[in-house]
Amino acid sequence: MSREYNLYLHDNLEAVRKIDRYTRGKDYEEFLADDLVQDGVIRNAGERLR
């Protein structure tokens, strides 16, 4: 694998880990009620999807 591809995978894995930390223990309703968590999840997911 190229170094660029490894960095891409590492960044994606780190984003998934952050999203997991932000949402762990929350159900869907709690997620919807927490603007900060929503912003964090959207930011991390959005950066990975560009």
Domain ranges of the chain: 21-50
Distance CA(13)–CA(7), nearest Å, equals 10
pLDDT at 48 over 80: no
Position 31 confidence tier, pLDDT thresholds 50, 70, 90: very high
* pLDDT tens per residue, range 8-29: 999 999 999 999 999 999 999 9
pLDDT at 1 over 70: yes
Ordered alpha helix ranges (H), the chain: 3-23, 28-33, 35-49
Residue 42, CA atoms < 13 Å, CB-side half-sphere: 8
Task: Quote the Cα angle for 26-22-35, to 5°.
Answer: 80
